[in-house]
């Protein structure tokens, strides 16, 4: 079913099946009371409201066992920046699984949650994303990957992880085809990179320089750190002069940082999660994004990447070769590449280097808008934006683009 069915359910305030799963448009997971004091932590969502949302979704066609709620436990899941994540445990033996993930949406106004949830549901059906159980007003319920651990920045440096991630990315790019019901929102004629970049650019330009930032002192910092006129000029330059017009378009993750990659604790199997920025885009952008994430930044409160960790030439070649080999192994019977593996890898890597520039602008603008709407107490979005824009300038010179 198309994303607009969510809109209709909100209008009528009716519990509805969308993507064959329940949608409760008026069920809200609420925040607990805010503690007093300047250094008090931000309020978290109450265990009671989290458990209630999980039970409503899971047992939407029946009644939950009367004693189940008191046996369920809630814990916060680390790794989320855009969203608040919670694990609810204790469903077994009533259900075949023991745990569920509760995702409370963040980044208000920056992600179309109707399109994103329908896309996530289709990825779940294809076995690429975790299971989708249903949605409530400010979040959704997903399957929880038990006995998996989230990667950290230094895990990306491990050769076996590089190859496994490259292969899993290839499976996403080659293996997921957008269903007809979502073609209006994911169409090859409109790769998401440019529409997203220019939308975020316009949002950033509309931020009131005096009152538009949520945290104290951020208006002054933004005036000192950011030059949005420069960013807009560079965005136009990258679109017109850098990115090849014929770059391959596939369904991309678009946000493959360590926290969105999970590894099985025993088998080492890699699983990609959190597809909220996913969509049809340039394959080379997805790889460029992952290379930039070697430097980290989002896992630190100060938002400072370490570009000494950016993959060197050998690491880039290792990743690209594994990716191209896996893509070739998934070609339909009888279809072969006209290029050798070496030639195909070299051409793709040259494209990836160009998309590295676009990727810095992408997450820099995202961070500017996040600073405005979310504040910078928990994560310094403004500092992160400055680092990404600054690194853009350095990478531009390294790639031979001179002003």
pLDDT tens figures, 73-86:
999 997 667 789 99
**pTM over 0.85, yes/no:** yes
Q: Please write the tens of the pLDDT for every residue from 126-142.
A: 999 999 999 999 999 99
Predicted local confidence at residue 106, as pLDDT: 84
Q: How far is CA 369 from the centre of its chain?
A: 16
| Residue 346, in any domain of the structure | yes
Percent of the chain predicted with pLDDT > 70? 98
Q: Is pLDDT above 80 for 1? A: no
d(CA 188, CA 8): 27
**pLDDT confidence of residue 205:** 96
Average pLDDT, integer, range 209-216 = 90
Q: Running DSSP on this structure, what letter comes out for residue 130?
A: P
In b/e form, how buried is each residue of 100-134, taking b as 16+ CB within 10 angstroms? bbbbbbbbeebbebbbbbbbbbbbbeeebbbbbbb
- Which domain, by its residues, includes 104? 4-146
- Where does the pLDDT of residue 100 fall: very low under 50, low under 70, confident under 90, or very high at 90 and above? very high
Q: How many domains is the chain partitioned into structurally?
A: 2
Cβ–Cβ < 8 Å for 294, 310: yes
Mean per-residue pLDDT for 209-214?
A: 89
- Of 146, 176, 192, which closes a domain? 146
3-state helix/strand/coil string of 29-73: CCECCCCCCCCCCCCCECHHHHHHHHHHHHCCCCCCCCCHHHHCE
Q: What is the pLDDT of residue 83?
A: 87
> Do 275 and 257 belong together in one domain?
yes
196 and 321 share one domain: yes
What mean pLDDT value characterizes the chain? 93
Predicted local distance difference test score (pLDDT) of residue 335 = 80
| Residues 199 and 89 both lie in one domain | no
pLDDT interval class at 232 (50, 70, 90): very high
Whether residues 238 and 363 fall in one domain: yes
Q: Are residues 78 and 156 in the same domain?
A: no
**205 and 93 housed in the same domain:** no
Please report the pLDDT score of residue 161 as a whole number. 97
Verify that 254 and 377 share a domain, yes or no: yes
Q: How far apart are CA 153 and CA 283, in angstroms?
A: 22
Q: What is the pLDDT of residue 38?
A: 63
- For residue 193, which of 120, 278, 83 has the smallest C-alpha distance? 278
Predicted confidence (pLDDT) per residue in 236-251, tens digit:
999 999 999 999 999 9
Question: For residue 93, is the peptide bond before it cis, meaning its omega torsion is within 30 degrees of 0?
Answer: yes
Give residue 40's pLDDT band: very low, low, confident or very high (50, 70, 90). Answer: low
Spatial separation of the C-alpha atoms in residues 109 and 370, rounded to whole Å: 10
> What is the DSSP code (8-state) at residue 104?
E
Does 89 have pLDDT greater than 60? yes
* Same domain as 158, residue 81: no
Give a yes or no: residue 403 inside a domain.
no
The CATH number given to whatever domain includes residue 78 is: 3.30.200.20
Region 198-222 average pLDDT: 93
Note whether 111 and 241 are same-domain residues.
no
State whether 377 and 310 are in the same domain. Answer: yes
**Residues 366 and 295 occupy one common structural domain:** yes
User: Could you tell me which of 294, 285, 286 has the C-alpha nearest to residue 253?
Assistant: 286
What residues have CB less than 8 Å from 391, skipping those under 6 apart?
305, 307, 360
Bridge partner list, 149? 263
Tokens of 268: 């080492």
In a domain, 119, yes or no: yes
Same domain, 253 and 301: yes
Q: Is the predicted pLDDT of residue 288 greater than 70, yes or no?
A: yes
Q: Looking at the domain assignment, is residue 224 inside a domain?
A: yes
Cα distance between residue 352 and residue 394, in whole Å: 16
pLDDT bracket for residue 110 (50, 70, 90):
confident
Q: What confidence tens digit (pLDDT) does each residue in 297-352 have? A: 999 999 999 999 999 999 999 999 999 999 999 988 778 888 899 999 999 999 99
305 contacts 391 by C-beta, under 8 angstroms: yes
Candidates 250, 259, 70; CA nearest to 151 is 259
pLDDT over 60 at 400, yes or no:
yes
Looking at the predicted structure, is the pLDDT value of residue 403 above 70?
no
Q: Contact, 358 vs 288, CB < 8 A?
A: yes
Last residue of a domain, one of 112, 146, 180: 146
Q: Which of 128, 146, 164 is the last residue of a domain?
A: 146
Whether residue 328 is contained in a domain is answered as yes
Dist. CA 259–CA 299, nearest whole Å? 8
142 within a domain of the structure (yes/no): yes
pLDDT score recorded for residue 336: 81
């Amino acid at each position: 079913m198309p994303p607009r069915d969510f809109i209709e359910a909100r209008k009528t305030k009716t519990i509805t099946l969308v993507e064959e799963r329940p949608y409760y448009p008026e069920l809200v997971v609420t925040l607990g009371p805010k503690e007093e004091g300047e250094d008090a932590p931000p309020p978290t969502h109450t265990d009671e409201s989290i458990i209630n949302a999980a039970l409503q979704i899971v047992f939407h066609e029946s009644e939950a066992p009367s004693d189940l709620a008191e046996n369920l436990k809630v814990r916060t899941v680390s790794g989320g920046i855009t969203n608040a994540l919670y694990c609810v445990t204790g469903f077994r033996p009533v259900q075949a699984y023991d745990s569920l993930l509760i995702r409370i949406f963040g980044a208000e106004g920056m992600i179309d949650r109707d399109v994103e949830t329908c896309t996530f549901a289709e990825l779940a059906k294809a076995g690429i994303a975790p299971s989708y159980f249903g949605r409530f007003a400010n979040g959704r319920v997903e399957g929880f990957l038990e006995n998996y651990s989230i990667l950290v920045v230094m895990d990306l440096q491990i050769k076996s992880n590089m190859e496994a991630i490259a292969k899993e990315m290839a499976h996403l790019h080659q293996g997921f085809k957008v269903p007809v019901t979502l073609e209006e929102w994911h169409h090859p004629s409109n790769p998401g990179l440019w529409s997203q970049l220019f939308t975020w650019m316009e949002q950033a330009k509309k931020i009131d320089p005096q009152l538009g930032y949520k945290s104290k002192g951020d208006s002054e910092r933004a005036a000192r750190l950011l030059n949005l006129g420069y960013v807009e000029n560079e965005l136009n330059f990258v679109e017109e002069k850098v990115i090849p017009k014929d770059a391959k378009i596939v369904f991309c993750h678009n946000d493959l940082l360590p926290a969105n990659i999970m590894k099985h604790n025993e088998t080492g199997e890699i699983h990609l999660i959190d597809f909220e920025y996913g969509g049809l885009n340039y394959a080379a952008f997805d790889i460029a994004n992952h290379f930039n994430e070697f430097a980290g930044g989002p896992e630190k409160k100060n938002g400072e990447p370490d570009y000494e960790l950016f993959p060197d030439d050998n690491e880039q070649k290792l990743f690209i070769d594994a990716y191209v080999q896996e893509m070739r192994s998934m070609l339909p019977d009888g279809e072969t590449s006209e290029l050798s593996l070496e030639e195909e890898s070299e051409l793709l890597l040259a494209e990836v280097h160009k998309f590295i520039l676009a990727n810095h602008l992408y997450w820099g603008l995202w961070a500017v808008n996040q600073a405005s709407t979310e504040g910078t107490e928990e994560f310094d979005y403004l500092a992160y934006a400055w680092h990404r824009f600054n690194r853009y300038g350095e990478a531009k010179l390294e790639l031979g683009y001179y002003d």
